[in-house]
Homo-oligomer: A and B are copies of this chain.
Amino acid sequence: MREALAEAAFQLFLERGYERTTVDDIVARAGVGRRSFFRYFPSKEDAVFPDHERCLADMTALLDGRDGRDGPDPVGAVCDAARLVMRMYAANPEFSVQRYGLTQEVPGLRTYELSVVRRYEGTMAGYLRRRWADAPDGGLRADVVAAAVVAAHNNALRSWLRSGGVGDADAAVDHALGLVRDVWGSAARGPAADPRGEAEPEGSAHVAPVVGAAAEQGDDVIVMVASRKAPMWRVVQSIEAAMAAG
């Protein structure tokens, strides 16, 4: 029923235009009553994006599953969360591309989409805030990293949609998210959340730690964040360790 309504709505939007299609038109096409429509969709806009609510629920579940304070790589977790959105679009390229065209033409739909994007971003930022609750500027970092992840994802998604939904959506989003992970994967980690700090040998507590250095297999760059007070040998050691691990 829900799918039938969304399909009828979308056909009509393409045939007659979004503004000229009424909810009455939609239920007539789907062969159901008017109240059925509002049982599934709060508004006409919602029928254009029938999968976002499910995707938001999936994202919340994914992040809840990685909420352990000692779990590794919170930035990686929000990147995985963003991939859920791309996957939803890529599951139905033709529909996604047609809807993108529709969204470009109807200001109300663009506004609706902005609110949805804001909810994804808020979900990711909320997760990062919990993970970085004890880190300096944890809330600020959470907001910035969530925004960066969403912007990278949307850049890849938009390119894919503009190309007509051909090409490898997963590879495109991986590349875009890679840019954020390279920069923020270590930089956004507050000292409190850094296991390296705990491994500090006793007696060297006066040595300001290197906050972190990271590189992943296949990456071309190493990102390092160090306390200004860190001695150079510790910086070099940390970079060498990151190179060896990558």
**Which residues of A24-64 have CB atoms within 8 Å of chain B's CB atoms?**
none
- Copies of this chain in its oligomeric complex: 2
A interface SS class: helix
Given contacts A146-B151, A151-B147, A180-B144, contact A228 B223 (CB under 8 A): no
Q: Are A215 and B243 in contact (CB under 8 A)?
A: no
Given the complex, which residues of B lie within 8 Å of A221, measured CB to CB? 211, 225-228
Interchain CA distance A241-B133 in the complex, whole Å: 33
Q: Are B143 and A155 in contact (CB under 8 A)?
A: yes
Given the complex, which residues of B lie within 8 Å of A188, measured CB to CB? 183
Name the distance in Å between A157's Cβ and chain B's nearest Cβ: 11
Q: Are A151 and B155 in contact (CB under 8 A)?
A: no
Cβ-closest 6 pairs across A and B: A147-B151, A147-B147, A224-B224, A143-B155, A143-B151, A144-B151
Q: Mind listing 13 A-B residue pairs with CB under 8 Å? A: A137-B179, A140-B179, A143-B155, A144-B152, A144-B179, A144-B180, A146-B151, A183-B225, A221-B225, A224-B224, A232-B236, A232-B239, A232-B240
